[in-house]
Chains A and B, each alone.
Chain A
């Protein structure tokens, strides 16, 4: 879902950068307040793992492919949507600057879609779904699916504002592809939470609504 430079006019891209910078500032405030020595390895490993897994594009129908975004995972495990903004911003900067994956002028939009929308939708849907299922894994799966699907729809709206995609066709095609890619997001989110919970139950955030098992 990495938007390349050519897809958004520079003035609009600048507006997205300003919005993104506000959220980056808030994510740094989160880090300043919540970061403790025992959380550092988890943040570092999550960022590295999310970068690596984003390099694996899994084929879906319609000659298309998709990869995990990781924002829901970061938000759930670290217990704040701002943690997702923190982690995804680092990942997107390295991807854009070093590998030309995602444009630089439009990086603000990519941070909003994947970090902010992904993180907030993932975190709050997980929180809402946990009591419903009384089990973290189906909640994590659906939260992961929703985080990617909603981010894709927001991206389609940005494309419509940019004049790049017509709104309806953009929403239809982005929705169609990402409804399938969301299954990858949800699946890996649930599995990763299981693995982290097994290895280090103590460092996972508890305020995020984790149901103790």
Chain B
């Protein structure tokens, strides 16, 4: 497989994964979030039910503990595009994938340049 084919085949695989992601990904909390809910009483550590009310309180509690209330508005929060449902999510992840490819490619080119 030549380099160009490899690059495009790799990008194609990444884009297929990106497009599928919102349709097949689990919306369960990830490991760190789940541990957080368990420790802050919004969920049993080995249970699966999340108490939404307690989850909100937990988020306030942790901010009070650390004092880190930094927040900023990302353009596509949680991989969503405002007004678009699942297809917006797929588009957001595809945009991200292409952007990461572009940045990695560009930076690597700069790094590979001789002095």
Q: Interface residues of A toward B: which range?
A: 35 or more
| A124 contacts the other chain (CB 8 A) | no
Q: Is the CB of A163 within 8 A of B108?
A: no
With A52-B14, A98-B75 known as contacts, the answer to whether A155 contacts B20 (CB < 8 A) is no
Q: Are A98 and B99 in contact (CB under 8 A)?
A: yes
Contact with A along B23-36 (1 / 0, CB 8 A): 01111111110111
Q: Is B48 in contact with A63, judged by CB distance below 8 angstroms?
A: yes
Residues of B near A105 (CB, < 8 A) are: 68, 70
A52 is contacted by which of B7, B15, B50, B67 (Cβ under 8 Å)?
Answer: B15
* A16-48 interface code vs B (CB 8 A; 1 in, 0 out): 000000000000100110011111111111111
How far apart sit A165 and B45, CA to CA, in the bound complex (Å)?
13
Q: Which residues does chain A contribute within 8 Å of B76, judged by CB atoms?
A: 98-100
Complex alpha-carbon distance, A43 and B111, angstroms: 12
**A25–B62 alpha-carbon span in the complex (Å):** 32
B105 touches A (CB below 8 Å): yes
In the assembled complex, the Cα of A13 lies from the Cα of B68 at a distance in Å of: 9
Whether the pair A9, B34 counts as a contact (CB closer than 8 A) is: no
Are A41 and B10 interface neighbours, CB within 8 A?
yes
Q: Does B11 contact A (CB under 8 A)?
A: yes
**Distance of A46 Cα from B104 Cα, bound (Å):** 9
| Residue of B31, B62, B103, B104 touching A178 (CB-CB under 8 A) | B31
Q: Is A132 an interface residue (CB 8 A)?
A: no
A93 to chain B, nearest CB (A): 8
Is B91 part of the binding interface, using a Cβ–Cβ cutoff of 8 Å?
Answer: no
Write out the residue numbers on chain B whose beta carbons fall within 8 Å of the beta carbon of A36: 112
CA distance A100 to B98 in the complex (A): 18
Q: Which of B20, B43, B67 contacts A63 (CB 8 A)?
A: B43
Identity of the chain A residue whose Cβ is nearest the Cβ of B90 in the assembled complex: A55
Q: Can you give 22 contacting A-B residue pairs, CB < 8 Å?
A: A7-B36, A9-B67, A32-B111, A35-B112, A39-B112, A40-B112, A44-B104, A45-B7, A46-B104, A49-B13, A49-B14, A51-B97, A52-B18, A52-B97, A55-B22, A62-B34, A62-B46, A62-B48, A63-B34, A63-B50, A64-B34, A152-B31
On A, residues with C-beta under 8 Å from B are 1-3, 5-10, 13, 28, 31-32, 35-49, 51-53, 55-67, 87, 90-91, 94-101, 103-106, 152, 155-156, 162-166, 169-170, 172-174, 176-178, 181, 199-200, 203
Additional 13 contacts, C-beta under 8 A, given A35-B111, A90-B103, A173-B45: A7-B68, A39-B112, A43-B108, A48-B100, A52-B17, A55-B17, A55-B93, A57-B28, A64-B48, A67-B30, A90-B100, A99-B76, A169-B45
